[in-house]
Amino acid sequence: MTNLPSQERRRHERYRHVLDVHTRCLLSTQTTADPPKEFDGRIQNLSNSGVCILSSYPLEPAAFVSCSFPVFDAPVSVPTLMQVRWTTKLGSNAPSYIIGFEFVG
């Protein structure tokens, strides 16, 4: 069987879920155009292995971040370690980047 370009290559099903999250950069190979150390983003979808977040800042693949996920109906959030797998520019309107993260652990 041949793999068509339009076929889904992900291992886990994605679930569309919009949540605002707070992200903190940990280790990075960024240089002159470093993103801020902390910034807010918005989850577009998530799965058992990762999450896709809209952001105003690009992140380099392989960078590590800590992201705080809110818990519904509770005044707490869950910190999660993730690694950037890819970043794509969406356009000129903010937020203008979509970033794929993989959970580390």
pLDDT tens digits along 70-101: 887 888 888 899 999 999 998 887 768 999 99
Residue 9 located in a structural domain: no
Is position 68 within any domain? yes
DSSP codes, 49-87: SEEEEEESS---TT-EEEEEEE-TTSS-EEEEEEEEEEE
CATH of the domain at 39: 2.40.10.220
Domain count, the chain: 1
Residue 91 forms part of a structural domain: yes
Q: Terminal CA-to-CA distance of the chain, rounded, Å?
A: 34
51 part of a folded domain: yes
- What's the pLDDT tens digit per position in 38-54? 888 898 998 889 999 99
pTM to 2 decimal places: 0.74
β-strand 50-55 against 64-70: which pairing, if any?
A: unpaired
Structural domain for 44, as ranges: 15-103
